[in-house]
Amino acid sequence: MPAASSPGQLEKLLVCTDGSPESQGAINAALDLARTYGSKVYLLQVVAFIPGYELQSPDLLPPPPLNLEVQAAQEAAAQERLEAWQAEAATRGVDLEPRIRTSTSAYHGILEEAEALGPDWIVMGRHGFTGLARLLMGSVTARVIGHSPFNVLVVPQGVTLSFRRIMMASDDSPYSAGAWAAALSLAREMGSALIGVSVAAGDGETKTAMEVVEKLEAAAALQGITLETMVLRGKPDEAIVKAATAKEVDLIVLGSHGRTGLRRLLMGSVAERVIGQAKCPVLVVKRSAA
């Protein structure tokens, strides 16, 4: 299981596109990151197929619409789009390698490519405001976060990645430690204003939340980083999103389990719920539960 990567170690970025205008924000964000950190970008498009479908009831049904010729045409169109982005990346001084993978579903293909490549971050788009219901029904992005051990940066449609103001949310768990390290590193390298928050779901948790932000403040001071702290109250995902909006945050950094699995994902972790509602990009820093 990979350790959480600090931004200074962003050697490989796996960017996922479906060829839609909505995924362009994720690609542009990755190109900006690559230019800053000298990363290599792997731009992936998955061509989905249903294995064995062409062979079902060949004597009873007409040829199905999905066949090898259609698949080849889809791959050729994807290759053309990816090569256009490769040329664009070159003008920005970024090394981009197109990748096409055929798989049974988009998220399976992304997970397979990530396992083979071992990226520092996976960068994905989010189609507008998905809403919590759509997210928990299992969007591609949510499924990748739930099953992948790699950090995932999610960029909403029409939003530009910026590091002017970063908010990191902590519950003082081991899963928050990697997110805190990533937030500190980003703030230091980008000169960002950094906000550390902890959420008290009830009055009985206020003292603990205050202790958490005090620890964050002390840790930031040791590195010469000024940290604004906030103790939020209420449901964690709603409180984080509300505070991020009020503070005009450009990036939210959260911790999450390693491979959570779809069952846990559908139960709704804080990270996935924040992504479904946030107006800004969200970096989910993964850590093994082991």
* Cβ atoms 177, 285 nearer than 8 A: no
116 Cβ neighbours under 8 A, 6+ residues apart? none
CA 254 – CA 272 distance, rounded (Å): 10
CA dist 60 and 57 (Å) reads: 5
**163: how many CB neighbours lie within 10 A of its CB?**
20
pTM of the predicted model as reported, rounded to 2 decimal places: 0.86
Structure tokens at 290: 């082991």
Say if residues 184 and 218 touch (Cβ distance below 8 Å). no
> Which pLDDT score is estimated for 70?
77
Q: What's the pLDDT score for residue 53?
A: 46
Residue 42: both structure tokens together: 């792997």
Amino acid at 35: R
- Pick from 281, 232, 227: nearest CA to 254: 281
The model's pLDDT over 195-251, given as tens digits with 9 standing for 90+, comes to 999 999 888 899 999 999 999 999 999 989 999 999 999 999 999 999 999 999 999
The whole-angstrom distance between residue 27's C-alpha and the CA centroid of its chain comes to: 12
The whole-angstrom separation of Cα 129 and Cα 290 is 33
Within the chain, which residues score under 70 in pLDDT?
A: 1-8, 50-67, 127-138, 257-268, 287-290
What pLDDT was estimated at residue 270? Answer: 82
Residue-level pLDDT at 56: 47
Buried b (16+ CB within 10 A) or exposed e, 167-196: bbbbbbeebbebbbbbbbbbbbebebbbbb
Element (H, E) at 209: helix 206-222
Residue that the structure tokens 């990009």 belong to: 281
Can you tell me the distance from the alpha carbon of 36 to that of 190, in angstroms, rounded to the nearest whole number? 10
282 CB-near residues (< 8 Å, 6+ apart): 153, 154, 251, 252, 253, 254, 271, 274, 275
> Do the bridges between strand 95-103 and strand 40-48 make them parallel or antiparallel, or are there none, so unpaired?
parallel
Distance CA 207, CA 201 (A): 11
- CATH for 7-286 is 3.40.50.12370
CA–CA gap between residue 134 and residue 138 (Å, rounded): 7
Report the sign of the C-alpha dihedral through residues 253, 289, 107, 7, in that order. positive
